[in-house]
Structure 1
Amino acid sequence: MKKGNIFVLLLSFLVMSFVLIACGSDNSGNETEPEEPADTSENTAEDETDGNKEVAEEETEEQSFDFLSMLTGGTSGTYYPLGGEMASTITDATGIQTDALSSNASADNVVALQNEEAELAFVQTDVMDHAVNGINAFDGNPVENVQAIGSLYPETIQIVTKKDSGIASVEDLAGKKVSVGAPGSGTYINAEQILEIYGMTMDDIEAQNLDFSESTGGIQDGNIDAAFITSGTPTGAVEGLSATVDVAIVPIEEDKIEALIEQYPFYAKDTIAAGTYGLEEDVVTVAVLAMLAVTDNIPEELGYEITKAIYENAESMAHDKASFITVDSALDGIGIELHPGAKKYFDEQGIAQE
């Protein structure tokens, strides 16, 4: 056989050998190209869902409450005794122990809520308005984590003095020792605004920063001449004073009331009825509203239960001011965002925030 033919046969043999080896390798899978990665999008989605569930469960655990603190006011005012009844009602309705705690009232209460040192608090509607807008005592520090449950009752601005003090008008307070409450408190701000309407400032009086019981005690002892007291009537401290001396309440004239409301719409005209504190006739003055505020970390369902408990059980509360707590007036004077649970409750009652 010629050498050329032998070479061709050998080359053919080698080619066939390589073909057989390649086929064998494909069948065994040892040398095949790697498969495309499996589609894990469904698994990833499931993992993300599970992760989200875990986060949600953790957040739910963080937002569960075994105990609620309700800040009220001084023990001689209206907030504290009414708050005690409301706290008991909330405890019974929710199964969560709720305690009413005495405090320095509105401004301090809002700060405590802002710092999450309490969950619920009594606040004046005007002070709450100042807080969310970052003005007056909250200048440059607006409160963003507080929401409303609803308004409760009118808080009357009472300028209290002795009947024989010679103080018959706001102008007569000039040069006198007058208690105006703690700086930044609701009472203090009310005093500032009423004096302003009369063309006066704190510099025109000898301002004393006393609480309600200290104020009435000071009037009784002759250490001060008068006191601004913003509280639902009758106020315990003033009733106590009227048991020992003849009390007078300084009226606010109609034109001044109109000017005050025009400048500060959260005020309303109010009347202290004859017979209160032994008064011989009605006294015309102004009022703001007391409201209940909460931190926004209260879960919606708990906020709903709190709202329902208060407005559906007010008639069973013994305090005089409980009679003012109604669904129909619950959103009066509320200028801040409602808690989602409160909104849900009022929506069910057909009551909408203006």
Structure 2
Amino acid sequence: MKTQTKIAAALLLGTTAVALAQGTTFLTIGSGSTTGVYFPVATGMAKMINDAGDGLRANARSTGGSVFNMQAIASGELDAAIAQNDVVYYAYKGTGLQAFQGKANTKLRTLAVLYPEVLHVVARKDSGIRSIADLKGKRVVIGDLGSGTELTARQVLEAYGLGFDDLGQALRVSPAQGITLMQDKRADALFYTVGVGASAISQIAQTVDVAMVPVSGNQAASLLKKYPFYVRFNIPAKSYKGVGATIPSVAVQATLVASTAVSDDAVYRTMKAVFANEGAVRGLHPSLATNFAYDKAVKGLPAPLHPGAVKFFREKGVTVR
């Protein structure tokens, strides 16, 4: 009974990074908002790990997003997490963001690059916003405090010569709260870095007449030059209700990461449980359906591959360092 009590405490309180009891390794996977893509993907991965019955048990936890996840891995609150590759890089190097400045987490390791995370800038049609420059003086949802979206919003606005102080109101709220603010006309536009097809964007488009704001031209070029993690990405026409044309934007990459505190064996078993079948991974979410592949999973790494992941990919015939 004492062992069971300790296990329950570890799962409920998150006070241990990897709990070992009765031969079972417990993993907590950080995700993001329940209305985004991270949460259903992490939940699906946890189920695959649990169903594999290979001495691992996992649970997915909704969090504030990428920056929080990196801090929680550093503190041992999370064992693994999904995060934007740029945020992972900054956390690994101890630069780029004040949250990581001088606090390089050299124990961060990549498990796999998953899919492009596309910047969606969604505006109410009645706001008159048609370009990023039009956001000046407007009420704009810039993402939860400490989220990857907040970082992306800052960098994109910078490319257009704007800062958060130039907005009428910079609203730091979760995507779910952002939906409500857009619906209630208390926000004019919303930034969200997320896979195409995210329920939060679909929900807004279903309930509000919206316009997708492009990120393109010289501003996009300067953004890519300064921040090489970004790539150009077109949001396909009809991805959301009322969006009839292709919208040029930019994207980073959603990446699954862990710490060296998670053993090589545990990571290897995790990789086998989740990634043994490419088709099963693609079936977790539409964002993965046309984007995930073994060869892509080891490109653009923000931190070195975990040894457990190296072993897995080599067994799959993938060339890794």
Fold-level similarity (TM above 0.5):
yes
Q: Secondary structure at the match of 1:139?
A: coil
Structure 2 counterpart of 1:126, from 67, 70, 86 = 86
Structure 1, unpaired ranges of 5+: 1-59
> Which amino acid in the other structure matches residue 67 of structure 1?
F
Q: Which residue of 1 is the match for residue 138 of structure 2?
A: 176
Q: Secondary structure at the match of 2:129?
A: coil
Structure 1 counterpart of 2:181, from 199, 218, 226 = 218
Q: Which residue of 2 is the match for residue 308 of structure 1?
A: 272
Matches within 5 A, 1:143-222: 143-205=105-167, 206-222=169-185
TM-score, structure 2 as length reference: 0.87
Alpha-carbon separation, structure 1, partners of 2:238 and 2:20: 53
> Which amino acid in the other structure matches residue 286 of structure 2?
D
Matches within 5 A, 1:69-148: 69-93=28-52, 94-135=54-95, 136=97, 137-148=99-110
Structure 1 counterpart of 2:210, from 240, 243, 247 = 247
Structure 2 counterpart of 1:320, from 286, 299, 312 = 286
Alpha-carbon separation, structure 2, partners of 1:337 and 1:282: 35
Structure 2, unpaired ranges of 5+: 1-18
Alpha-carbon separation, structure 1, partners of 2:287 and 2:278: 9
- Per-residue CA deviations over 1:267-315 (Å, capped at 9, x if unaligned) read 0111111111121100000000001111212221221121233222342
Q: Which residue of 2 is the match for residue 339 of structure 1?
A: 306
Q: Secondary structure at the match of 2:207?
A: coil
Q: Contact 2:40/2:284 (CA < 8 Å) preserved in 1?
A: no
Q: Secondary structure at the match of 1:287?
A: strand
Alpha-carbon separation, structure 2, partners of 1:73 and 1:222: 25
TM-score, structure 1 as length reference: 0.79
> Which amino acid in the other structure matches residue 245 of structure 1?
V
> Which amino acid in the other structure matches residue 308 of structure 2?
G
The change in CA–CA distance for 1:294 and 1:207 in structure 2 (over 3 A counts) is same
Per-residue deviation, 1:242: 1.3
Matched, 1:329 2:293: no
Alpha-carbon separation, structure 2, partners of 1:80 and 1:70: 10
Alpha-carbon separation, structure 1, partners of 2:276 and 2:295: 12
Alpha-carbon separation, structure 2, partners of 1:61 and 1:178: 45
Q: Secondary structure at the match of 1:341?
A: helix
Per-residue deviation, 1:169: 0.3
The change in CA–CA distance for 1:61 and 1:281 in structure 2 (over 3 A counts) is closer
Q: Which has the higher helix share?
A: 1
How many residues were matched structurally? 295
Matched, 1:268 2:235: no
Per-residue deviation, 1:174: 0.3
Q: Contact 2:119/2:250 (CA < 8 Å) preserved in 1?
A: yes
> Which amino acid in the other structure matches residue 188 of structure 2?
D
Per-residue deviation, 1:260: 1.0
The change in CA–CA distance for 1:261 and 1:65 in structure 2 (over 3 A counts) is farther
Per-residue deviation, 1:238: 1.2
Q: Which residue of 2 is the match for residue 20 of structure 1?
A: none
Identity score, percent: 35
Q: Secondary structure at the match of 1:138?
A: coil
- State the Cα RMSD in Å: 1.9
